[in-house]
Amino acid sequence: MTPLGAGSSTSASTARAAVEESDDAGIRKVFDTHVFGAAEMIKAVLPGIRARRSGAIVDVSSIGAQITPVGSGYYSAAKAALEGLSDALRGELAPLDISVTIVEPGAVRTDFAGRSLTQSATIIDDYADTAGKRRKEHDNEQEKGTSSERESASDLCRADRI
Map out the domains of the chain as residue ranges. 6-154
Does 31 or 120 have the greater pLDDT score?
31
Asked if the model's pLDDT at residue 1 lies above 50, the reply is no
Mean pLDDT of the chain: 80
- What pTM did the predictor assign? 0.78
**CA-to-CA distance for 58 and 108, rounded, in angstroms?**
17
> Annotated catalytic residue: which of 29, 72, 76, 79?
79
Q: Is 62 a catalytic residue?
A: no
Length of the chain: 162
Catalytic residue among 74, 86, 120, 127: 74
Looking at domain 6-154, which CATH architecture does it have? 3-Layer(aba) Sandwich (3.40)
Per the annotation, the verdict on 72 as an active-site residue is no
Which of 22 and 108 is assigned the larger pLDDT? 22
Dump pLDDT digits (tens) for 65-96: 899 889 989 999 999 999 999 999 999 999 99
Q: Is the pLDDT of residue 43 over 50?
A: yes
Q: Is 6 left (phi over 0), alpha (psi -120 to 50) or beta?
A: beta
**Between the CA of residue 116 and those of 26, 50, 57, 72, 129, what are the distances in Å?**
11, 33, 24, 14, 24
- 127 belongs to the catalytic site: no
Catalytic residue among 61, 62, 76, 152: 61
Mean pLDDT throughout 109-128? 72
